[in-house]
Chains A and B, each alone.
Chain A
Amino acid sequence: RKEVEQDPGPFNVPEGATVAFNCTYSNSASQSFFWYRQDCRKEPKLLMSVYSSGNEDGRFTAQLNRASQYISLLIRDSKLSDSATYLCVVIEQTGANNLFFGTGTRLTVIP
């Protein structure tokens, strides 16, 4: 049983497209949720937190569905620079050993 699961992709989309990724988690008591971005051969960096009410940052929208236990990331008007791997992170409860990374979803935006 994996605590966090993501579709590895790859997602190949044309510039300007809208693309969405989901990430499911197994523990219904999970408390905090995040999306990280990892460029090829680079370290992961925080993209955005995911709040119960959903949150938006420019072209990026993150949402949480507690009933179905998944978080989503929507990217509108995709840019070439959005090409990366997107990792979801779930924190089950307080404590560093209760933080789980998904394996990542690879996105390639094509000109």
Chain B
Amino acid sequence: GAVVSQHPSWVICKSGTSVKIECRSLDFQATTMFWYRQFPKQSLMLMATSNEGSKATYEQGVEKDKFLINHASLTLSTLTVTSAHPEDSSFYICSVIRNSQETQYFGPGTRLLVL
């Protein structure tokens, strides 16, 4: 499978600060990148779909002003959690896809803890 990296792998921050998470597609240029969130003992929930050079599409209930997504290149997408609060503590996972016909590959995830 394809290699996807995320940085950082874990982060602890104070309430009110912003945190940026990077997702890189290392094996191919990804036309689309996805961001998921996973709370303890729950399944993955899609937050947004990001296409290079265009605005991200957010799922219902996900605040686009709070979760800023930048997909500046075909190999890099970033998710910024702005003014983080303890309820934003979660496991954030990105995935990449070369095109819609192909398989989606996931990153290792970033664990965020907001104090």
User: Do A and B originate from a single complex?
Assistant: no
Residues of chain B whose beta carbon lies under 8 Å from any beta carbon of chain A: none
Residues of chain A whose beta carbon lies under 8 Å from any beta carbon of chain B: none
